[in-house]
Amino acid sequence: MTRTRRAGRAWVGAVATLIVLACGGEDPAGSSGSILISLTPTTLPVQQGGSGSLTLSLTRGGGFGGAVALTATGLPAGVTTTFTPAQMTGTTVSSTVGVTVGAAVAPGIYTGTVSATATGIDPATTTYQVSVTAVPEYALTVVPATLTISPGASGEASVNIQRTNFTGAVTFALATPPPGVTGVFDPAQPAGNMSTLTVSIAANVAPGSYPVTVQGTATGPGVRTATLSVTVALPPSYAINLSPAAFAVQRGTSAVVNVMLARSNFTGQVTLALENAPPGITGTLVPASTTGNTSVFTIDVGVGVAPGVYQLSLRGTASGLTDRVAFVQLTVTSTPPGGGNVEYQFCDPSLVPVFFAYQDGVGAWQPVTGFTSGATTTFAFNLTQGRGGVMSVFRTTVANALAVDPAAPVRRLGPRVSAVRGGRSGVVSGPRATPIGAASLLTDVYLTEVLYGTTGELAQDGIDYCALTQPTKTVRGTVAGVPFGQYAIVSLGSSARLFVSGSSSNPLTFAGVPSGRVDLVGSRIATTGAAPDKAIVLRDLDIPDGGSIPASIDFNGPASRRPRR
Partner 1 sequence: LTISGVSGDELEVFSEVVTANSHGLLWVDLTGTSATTRPWAGLAPGAMSSGDFHGISVLATPPSTTDQLRVALEFVGPVADQTVTFGPTLGVPTVAQLATGDYPRFRFQGALPPAYDKSASIDVLSSADTGNAFTILATGAYLAASGNPLAYDFTMPDVSGMVGFPLAARLSAGTNVVSGGAIAFTGTGVFDLRPSLGSELRAATRSITIEVP
Q: x/- site string to partner 1, residues 410 to 449, per CB under 8 A? A: xx-xxxxx-xxxxxx-x-x-xxx---x---xxxxxxxxxx
Is residue 373 involved in binding partner 1 (CB under 8 A)?
no
CA–CA distances in Å: residue 326 to residues 10, 95, 290, 298, 394: 100, 94, 16, 15, 39
| Residue of 55, 146, 264, 294 interacting with partner 1 (CB under 8 A) | 294
In the sheet with 518-525, reading across from the earlier edge strand, the strands are 495-500, 487-492, 518-525, 534-541, 560-561
Give whichever of 173 and 260 is closer to partner 1, judged by the CB atom.
260
Residue list 313-342, contact with partner 1 (CB under 8 A)? none
Of 11, 166, 266, 365, the one binding partner 1 (CB under 8 A) is 365
Is residue 239 involved in binding partner 1 (CB under 8 A)?
A: no
In this structure, the dihedral spanned by the alpha carbons of residues 234, 237, 243 and 246, taken in order and rounded to 10 degrees, is -110
Contact status: 544 vs partner 1 (CB under 8 A): no
Among 403, 437, 438, 406, which Cα is nearest to 512's? 403
Q: How far is the CB of 222 from partner 1 (least distance, A)?
A: 47
Residue number, 5 or 565, with CB nearest to partner 1: 565
Instruction: Identify which of 376, 384, 386 has the alpha carbon closest to the alpha carbon of residue 337.
Output: 376
397 is a site residue for partner 1 (CB under 8 A): no
Among 18, 118, 492, 553, which residue interacts with partner 1 (rule: CB under 8 A)?
492
Q: Is 6 a binder of partner 1 (CB under 8 A)?
A: no
CA distance 127 to 74: 9
Pick out residues in 247-286 that bind partner 1 (CB under 8 A).
256-258, 260
Residue 557 CA, distance from chain mean position: 51
Buried b (16+ CB within 10 A) or exposed e, 286-307: eeeebeeeebebebbbeeebee
Instruction: Kindly report the backbone phi and psi dihedral angles of residue 419, in degrees, each rounded to the nearest multiple of 5, phi listed first.
Output: -60, -40
How far apart are CB 372 and partner 1 at their closest, in Å? 15
First to last CA, the chain: 100
Q: Are 392 and 441 in contact (CB under 8 A)?
A: no
By the rule CB under 8 A, 292 interacts with partner 1: no
Cβ burial of 486 (10 Å; 0-12, 13-18, 19+) is: buried
**Among 134, 139, 480, 521, which residue sits at the site for partner 1 (rule: CB under 8 A)?**
521
Largest Cα–Cα distance in the chain?
156
Interacting span for partner 1 (CB under 8 A) from 82-90, 180-188, 217-225, 353-361: 353-361
In the sheet with 108-117, reading across from the earlier edge strand, the strands are 43-47, 124-133, 108-117, 68-73, 87-88
Decide if residue 296 touches partner 1 (CB under 8 A). yes
Using CB under 8 A, which of the segments 55-63, 90-98, 273-281, 405-413 binds partner 1? 405-413
Number of residues that bind partner 1 (CB under 8 A): 93
503 touching partner 1, by CB under 8 A? no
d(CA 169, CA 188): 10
Q: Work out which of 176, 322, 540, 546 binds partner 1, going by CB under 8 A.
A: 540
The residue within the footprint of partner 1, chosen from 357, 383, 508, 549 (CB under 8 A), is 357
**Which ranges in 437-537 belong to alpha helices (H)?**
455-468
By the rule CB under 8 A, 372 interacts with partner 1 = no
C-alpha distances in Å from residue 287, one per residue of 239, 266, 294, 316, 386: 17, 18, 8, 12, 17
| Contacts to partner 1 from residues 56-75, by CB under 8 A | none
489 counts as binding partner 1 under rule CB under 8 A: yes
User: Which of 173, 184, 525, 526 is close enough to bind partner 1 by CB under 8 A?
Assistant: 525
- For the bound state, the minimum distance from the C-beta of residue 555 to partner 1, rounded and expressed in Å, comes to 13
Q: Which stretch binds partner 1 (CB under 8 A): 27-35, 94-102, 314-322, 458-466?
A: 458-466
> Is residue 565 near partner 1 by the rule CB under 8 A?
yes
> Least Å distance between CB 303 and partner 1?
23
4 lies in the site for partner 1, by CB under 8 A:
no
Contact region with partner 1 (CB under 8 A), list: 25-33, 124-132, 390-398, 471-479: 390-398
